[in-house]
């Protein structure tokens, strides 16, 4: 089997979920600047016409691997940087192909370039699974467990206290044993912002009690001093972790927080490759690792990340921006290494908008993937013909 084409396609259709689907954004690093703080932020609002692009790697045996949704920019970069490197190669040699892509991009060891490498890697694993007619999790040595608890990640919900209480109780009633809520305020919002952040944690605890895990996401938008003050105020609500309080490169700040606070610190969502993760674990900068499979280097690299984490006894709970790839990895690891999986209750629906079959936890639990490849199939009735072969 040889790779014969590297391209993509775009699906477009009406936004299917209503105007109020995305109700609130999270605090963002640029909120330190007033002109950015007043903006609605990503995904607010949704346009009437909605589209998603997908990477496709084709072979001479008629089997193709698909990754997406991703950006057209990533697909264009992949075609320019990696297409000639991939054409004619055996897609099963995924370790070699990953290493060649990585070595060819010495100035792109993080960020957008690594996201592009991740996309190719995931598409290759999807292709391999389809060629062998097996789920990718089986090819990774799993499934290791028969079910996996998911936590409901509540990005996009209104932060009105009545809504927060109602939504939290609803997810617990569905069977979720853990919830994550996203702060809206940071250092630029003063004492009033602190009060609103504390109100969010208090509202969730008053609504669901203390038998449910509560995670709180700061999305890289706080400072160390602000985090110390907020952690003291939040401690009575027993957060399972504070997530990404600082910018990703402030590893020293993370290490100091992890040493100073009783509340666990989670991070690594915006870190890349085994080398970036190694810095976090060897410096004891985080208590929970959250690499995103579709950013950190793909399935091939995330398996190496899990091996490093297990050697240091640091749990890996991946940021699950792409549900199918995250499931393949976490179900191939034991509960000590990957004890839980994130389900972004709004983003997960958004991400699967054009999938024929939507995946979500049942009773707060996922079962191991059983479909071949990565187990998703875009609905091609929404194909934009002129971009089918960009």
Report the first-to-last Cα separation within the chain, whole angstroms. Answer: 23
User: Any catalytic annotation for residue 319?
Assistant: yes
Three-state secondary structure string covering 318-367: CECCCHHHHHHHHCCCCCCCCCCEEEECCHHHHHCCCECCCCCCECCEEC
Alpha carbon 298 to its chain centroid, in Å, reads 12
3 state DSSP class of 152: strand
Token pair 């694993």 is at which residue? 125
Query: Is the distance from CB of 237 to CB of 201 less than 8 angstroms?
Result: yes
Residues 6+ apart with CB under 8 A from 274: 297, 301, 304, 305, 308
Helix, strand, coil shares of the chain, percent, nearest 5, are 40, 20, 40
Helix axes 298-311, 323-330, angle to 10 degrees: 40
Phi, psi of 219 (to 5 degrees): 45, 55
- Residues annotated as catalytic (active site), given as ranges: 319
């Amino acid at each position: 089997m040889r790779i014969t084409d590297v391209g993509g396609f775009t699906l477009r259709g009406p936004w299917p979920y209503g105007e109020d689907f995305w109700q609130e954004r999270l605090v963002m690093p640029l909120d330190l600047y007033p002109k950015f703080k007043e903006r609605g932020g990503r995904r607010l609002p949704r346009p009437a016409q909605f589209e998603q692009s997908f990477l496709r790697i084709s072979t001479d045996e008629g089997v193709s691997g698909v990754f997406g949704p991703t950006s057209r920019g990533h697909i264009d970069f992949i075609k320019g940087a990696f297409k000639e490197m991939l054409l004619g190669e055996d897609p099963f040699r995924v370790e070699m192909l990953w290493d060649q892509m990585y070595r060819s991009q010495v100035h792109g060891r993080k960020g957008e370039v690594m996201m592009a490498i991740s996309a190719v890697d995931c598409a290759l694993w999807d292709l391999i699974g389809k060629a062998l007619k097996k789920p990718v999790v089986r090819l990774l040595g799993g499934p290791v467990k028969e079910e996996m608890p998911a936590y409901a990640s509540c990005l996009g919900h209104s932060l009105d206290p009545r809504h927060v209480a109602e939504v939290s109780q609803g997810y617990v009633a569905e069977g979720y044993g853990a919830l994550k809520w996203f702060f809206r305020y940071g250092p630029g919002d003063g004492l009033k912002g602190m009060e609103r952040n504390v109100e969010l944690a208090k509202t969730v605890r008053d609504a669901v009690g203390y038998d449910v895990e509560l995670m709180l996401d700061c999305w890289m938008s706080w400072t160390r001093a602000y985090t110390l003050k907020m952690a003291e105020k939040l401690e009575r609500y027993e957060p399972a972790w504070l997530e990404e309080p600082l910018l990703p490169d402030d590893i020293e700040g993370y290490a100091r927080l992890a040493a100073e606070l009783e509340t666990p610190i989670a991070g690594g969502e915006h870190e890349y490759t085994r080398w970036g993760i190694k810095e976090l674990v060897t410096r004891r900068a985080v208590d929970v690792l959250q690499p995103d499979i579709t950013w950190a280097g793909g399935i091939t690299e995330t398996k190496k990340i899990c091996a490093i984490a297990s050697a240091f006894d640091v749990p890996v709970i991946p940021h699950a921006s792409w549900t199918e790839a995250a499931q393949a990895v976490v179900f191939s690891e034991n509960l000590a290494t990957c004890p839980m999986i994130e389900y972004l209750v709004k983003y997960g629906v958004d991400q699967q908008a054009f999938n024929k079959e939507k995946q979500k936890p049942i009773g707060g639990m996922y079962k191991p993937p059983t479909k071949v490849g990565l187990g998703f199939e875009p609905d091609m009735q929404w194909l934009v013909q002129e971009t089918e072969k960009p």
